[in-house]
Structure 1
């Protein structure tokens, strides 16, 4: 099984990285592909360029076995729709279960995603949650896909929905950008190499806009 973990990574931080490592181990994934998006479909364009966000992500995971960067969304014009990404991955991994990893906040807005029901044609959906989280009443189309036994993910290439409790660190990219813009320290919230890159390129120096999410 292969994990798919997308985001703006603006910048990547320990919340992203801890989730990726823990999901990889919990589900015994071959590896996780970290996919920085070029143009987010549901939020404003990130301040850091796609090339800079890619560089920060590469620095962050360079010494972590099992995590790798996938650049396909950066190379595709237009908004970065996950359904297109999964369709592309499926052509490469025809018989391998694909695991799309998203947070509970993103899951709450799933029905606003472009062609969201088609996601299940290409991948399983794993929603990472805090321990003790219980999903609210699911619409019938999702209720029929919900499983509680993670072993079932390996039995078919796509189609299931699983809620997986992991250690979620209370860190956000918005918080980091605000700290940097205010001249405060963001140390220990993200890898030192990423923080050094931000300082070198003087990223996130301006007062950021209202928080746009994780």
Structure 2
């Protein structure tokens, strides 16, 4: 009997996409033996400032970033919506497309995970997926009170022991990489190099289109 497909989901503004995003995606793909990991650029993120660059540029940069990575793909469905990018809507759409058996893994950084109680219909997320919390070894903060019962009831110590199409939470330790899109935009605005912080193809796109200049 063949195992269900395993699909990872990493959303974000990707303004711009950088090697921290890609390293996290690759590490989870290998650890969880995913069939595919989709990077999903958000159009109008409800919890973030409006992105500095256009949806078209952000989508193009993510496509540049994954062009030589066969297990990483780009999913533009949130950019096609004329409303805020709610993760629940995306999960419902993916579940309808991929079927009930597919194992969906939603990747969230620790800060995003701690902010879950402010998300649209956040209590329904686990109806559609497992959540993998990307945790760095240097992170030492505790989860907010609103998440403690959820963690107590849904956490699995070993991410590779997650079973079923969704419903559980596991922590995945990440290689520490203190890189942020904000830092990259600031460096570019001040005329400094961001080489080795973003893939060369992304840097070439930024340069060619004059993005993030002061």
TM over 0.5: yes
Q: Aligned match of 1:115 in 115, 118, 121?
A: 121
Between Structure 1 and Structure 2, how many residues are aligned?
A: 205
Contact 1:132 / 1:165 at 8 angstroms: preserved in 2?
no
Tell me which of 184, 188, 199 is aligned to 2:192: 184
Do the aligned residues in 2 keep the contact of 1:22 with 1:166 (CA within 8 Å)?
yes
Which residue of 155, 163, 172 corresponds with 2:180?
172
Give the equivalent residue in structure 2 for 1:211: none
Instruction: Pick one of 137, 140, 150 that aligns with 1:141.
Output: 150
Query: Is 1:58–2:27 an aligned residue pair?
Result: no
1:135: how far off? 7.0
Deviations 1:145-196 (A, max 9, x none): 011122332x210100101101131110000000000011111100111111
How far residue 38 of structure 1 moved from its aligned partner, in angstroms, is 0.7
Local SS of the residue matching 2:79: coil
Q: Name the TM-score, length of structure 1 as normaliser.
A: 0.92
SS at match of 1:147: coil
Residue in 1 that maps onto 2:3: none
- Counterparts of 2:7 and 2:20, CA distance in 1: 20
RMSD: 1.3
Post-superposition offset of 1:86: 0.3
> Counterparts of 1:21-60 in structure 2 under 5 Å?
21-60=26-65
Correspondence for 1:105:
111
1:199-210 matches, cutoff 5 A: 199-206=207-214
Cα shift at 1:102? 0.7
Q: 2:17 aligns with which of 4, 12, 35?
A: 12
| SS of corresponding position for 2:185 | helix
Counterpart position of 1:91: 96
**Cα shift readout 1:79-136 (whole Å, capped 9, x = no counterpart):** 0000000000000122111000010111111111111111101000000111375673
Matches of 1:105 and 1:139, distance apart in 2: 15
What's the secondary structure of 1:196's corresponding residue? helix
Unaligned segments of structure 2, at least 5 residues: 1-5
Unmatched 5+ stretches in structure 1: 207-214
In the superposition, the TM-score normalised over structure 2's length comes to: 0.92
Partner residue in 1 for 2:168 = 160
C-alpha displacement of 1:7:
0.3
Is 1:133–1:165's contact at 8 Å kept on the other side of the alignment? no
